[in-house]
Structure 1
Amino acid sequence: MFNVFSTILTVSRFHKDAFNGTWVKCLAGIKAWFFLDPSAEEGDFETPAPENIRCILLFPGDVLYMPAGLSVPHAVVTVCGPCLMAGGQRLDKTSLIPQLKEIYRMMREPSTTNEDVPRSEFRAILSTLLTLIKEDPKDFEDPKGLRDTIVSIQACLQN
């Protein structure tokens, strides 16, 4: 869980959240969320084409969820402040493989996110997931694919 407090015209550049599966609830103020069209995602975050940008406004009580496993480039502007947001991020068993791959990609390409990906926490998450898969593989959609993905990422993290 996290809280974000911002004043009017506070801006967060286009980025992706390091641990996707983000949800936010507007408690006070108004936030404008700008999203890049998924087909334009691989483009330049600094100067996206206006036709590739979509916008929504979050008012007090509104909740936004960016699904786990999907990489959602977004920028945020406080339109009316002060603004207070509550939020969090979640792992989703049905999308663990793409979610883990995206976190690892952000570790290799830190300019795509506005936050550090904590390597030690990520290593701990990977180890815990391996233990859970070993204990109860039927609990996961693709236990072999997930295990292979985790082992592959762990090997890369050693380098």
Structure 2
Amino acid sequence: MSGIDIRPTGARDAEAIMALHRAAASGVSGLAREPDEIEIGYIAKFLSEATITLGAWAGDRLVGEIHAYRMGPRQFHHVVTDLTIAVHPEFQGQGVGGLLFEALFHEARAMAPPVARVELMVRTGNAGAVRLYERMGFVVEGRFADRVRLRDGTVEDDLAMTKFL
């Protein structure tokens, strides 16, 4: 997708990230938080603690964000996990998610020591996200039955997916 700039995010972007996550969580979302659970403290925490934080910008508008954590202790430093990706509903299906993943993979490979494994969780009902992750090279490594309780009270399985770099 042309016209999208991917760059690291920081504290200066916290308000824009919060608005993006709330917008993404408002509709049919794969985010694990409801809009009212997305507060500035949550955003500030992952901005200060995540190993990789990247934003997708269309001009001065944040339209996507991805972050993940290097796993510790050192024997797990080849792994990034707890990955979260959010794309504004108006920009979903336009390649923003793929651009964010490619940038994350690039950053992960450049780390010392380089990351060789990227992990994420996705609920089974989020078929669009599962398709994206599979296109990006992720494979299902496990299933957590009835792990996710949705707004309407139904439950879905969570899939553990991994990509080897």
- TM score, norm. by length of structure 1: 0.28
- TM score, norm. by length of structure 2: 0.28
Q: Computing the radius of gyration over CA atoms, which structure comes out larger, 1 or 2?
A: 1
